[in-house]
Amino acid sequence: MAWLFKGPDYYTDKLLKTHTEWAALAADDEAGRTRVGALLQKYSGKLKDTMYGDGAKEPQPAQCDKLARAWIDKSVLPCLQTVLRGVDFESRKNLSMIFCALVRGDHAGFASTALTACPTVVRSLIDEYADYSMALVVGPMIREGLRVPAVHACILGGGGSEEDAEHAAVTVKAGVRDEMASIEAAKAAAAAAAEAAGTEHASARSSSVHSDPANDAARVARNAVLGGMSRQLVELVGRWAVQPQFEVAGDAFATLTWLLRDTEQKDQVRAFLLEKTDTFFPLFMALLEPWTGRANFTVQLQALKLLVEVLLDRDNFEVMVGFIKRTRHLRAVMKLLRSTQSAVQFEAFHVFKIFVANPHKPDAVVEVLLANKDKLTEFLRGLQNDRQDDLFHDEKALLIETLEGGLVLPEGYEAKLIQPRQAMGLDRPPPTTGAGRAAPSEAAGGDGAEEEAAAAPASGGAAAASASAAAPTSAAAAEE
C-alpha cells in the first residue's frame, strides 16, 4: 500500500534518475531519445506539481532546490532546446513551466549562476518561433529568461559575423516575400470581386514602388547584424513579429515588448538604443511602413504603441532626442497620420507631436515641417474632432500654433530650393509666404540627397478629401 502515499519526493527522484540520459537527446541516439521522451511524458506533469503544487499541497522549497541542482549538475540547459523538440506538446508545456519556475525562484542559483553562465541557451530559443508547435511554448521561457541581465544582454548584442548576417538577411527576405505574396493574392481577389460588381477597387490602381521591399528588408537586417545586433533579435523584429500566424506574431511581439520595456534592465536597454540607433530603428520602423506590404493594422498599432512608450519614457530622453533628429522617422510618422484607422492615427499623433514640440529642431526637420506647414495645419484642425479627450485637443492646438508661428527658417533654406530649380532650368525662385517662409507646396530635403520630404497627411471628412490626394514632393522635382 506504499504507492498510496507517493509524494513529490517519489516523482522527483524517479525523474531525476533519468537526467543522465537526457544527453542522449543531444546526441545521435534514437533509442535514448525515445526512452527519455517516454519518461518525460510520464513524469513531467508530476514534476511540474513539484514546482507549483498540486492543489492539495503547496510546493516544497527543498524539492525545488533539489530539482534545480539536478538540472545544473547534469547539464540539462545545454540540451534543453533539443529536449523540447523530442517530446510531445504536453511535456513541452510542463518543461516550459518548470523552467520558468526555476528562473523566477532562482532555486539553487539556477538563474544567477547556471543561466548566467550560458545565456545563449535562451537566445537560441528564439529560433523556435519558426515552428508553430514550439512558438507558444518557448515564448514564456524567453521572457522569463530576460529577467537575467546576462541573457538580456546576450539577446540584444552578440552579432557581427558574416554568417549570422547572411542568415538574418535570408530569413527576413523570405518572410517579406511570403507576406507580399499573400497581400497580392488578397488584392487580386478584391479586384476580381470589384470587377464582378462593376466597380473599381483601389488595389487595382497601379502604385509605384521605388525598390524591392524584400531586398530592402534583407539589406537592413544584414546591416543590423554586422552592426552588432544579435541575429535572433533581428529575426524577431524582421520576421517572427510579422508572422502570418496571429498567435506566433503576438507572442513574438510580446517578447520584443518585454525586451525593450523590461523595468529591471532599463539602463541596458537605453545603452543599446543609444549605441544602435542607426541599426535598430531602421529595422523597427519597417514595421510601420504601409507600402512595403509588411505592415497590417495590428502590427502597426502594436509597434506604434511600443514606440510611444519607449520614446516618452523619462529614462530614454537621450534616445528620444536622437530619434527625432532623423527626418526619415518624421516622414514615416507623417505617412501613418494618413492611415484610415483612427487608432493608428492617434498613436502616430503622439510620435509626431514630439518632432513639432522639440525646441531644438535640426534644420532638416524644420525644412520638412515648413514645406508641409499648410497641409499639416489643415490636417490637424480636422483630426478626430469628435474624440472626447481634452488633453488631446489641447496638444493639437499647441502643435497648430507651433507650426503657424514657431518655426524658424533655417540658414540657407532658400538656396536649397533655388539651386535645384536652376539646375532644372527653372528661372523663377520658389514662392514664399509670410516672413520669408517657403510655400508649403515645396518640400525640403532630409537626411541626405536620397531622402525626400513626406507627403502631408490626410484625415477624415473634408480635410481628408483635400489632403489625401497630395503626393510626396521633393526639392529636386518641385512643381513649377
Instruction: Please provide the DSSP assignment of 255-306 as one string.
Output: HHHHHHH-GGGHHHHHHHHHHTHHHHHHHHHGGG-GGGT---HHHHHHHHHH
Confidence tier at 434 by pLDDT (50, 70, 90): very low
**Same domain, residue pair 346 and 431:** yes
Confidence tier at 215 by pLDDT (50, 70, 90): confident
> Would you say residue 59 lies in a domain?
yes
> Would you say residue 193 lies in a domain?
no
**Same domain, residue pair 465 and 349:** yes
**Same domain, residue pair 329 and 310:** no
Grid coordinates of 296: 497590417
- Residue 459: predicted pLDDT: 42
Across the chain, mean pLDDT equals 78
Contact 69, 124 (CB under 8 A): no
**Same domain, residue pair 295 and 252:** yes
**Same domain, residue pair 13 and 143:** no
By the 10 Å C-beta count (0-12 exposed, 13-18 middle, 19+ buried), 204 is classed as middle
> Would you say residue 199 lies in a domain?
no
> Would you say residue 198 lies in a domain?
no
**Same domain, residue pair 347 and 370:** yes
Domains in the chain: how many in total?
3
> Would you say residue 196 lies in a domain?
no
**Same domain, residue pair 330 and 311:** no
End position of a domain, from candidates 286, 316, 346: 316
- Residue 205: predicted pLDDT: 46
- Residue 412: predicted pLDDT: 65
Query: Does the pLDDT value for residue 447 go beyond 70?
Result: no
> Would you say residue 382 lies in a domain?
yes
> Would you say residue 297 lies in a domain?
yes
Confidence tier at 295 by pLDDT (50, 70, 90): low
End position of a domain, from candidates 316, 347, 376: 316
Which domain does 179 fall in, by range? 119-184+212-316
**Same domain, residue pair 57 and 145:** no
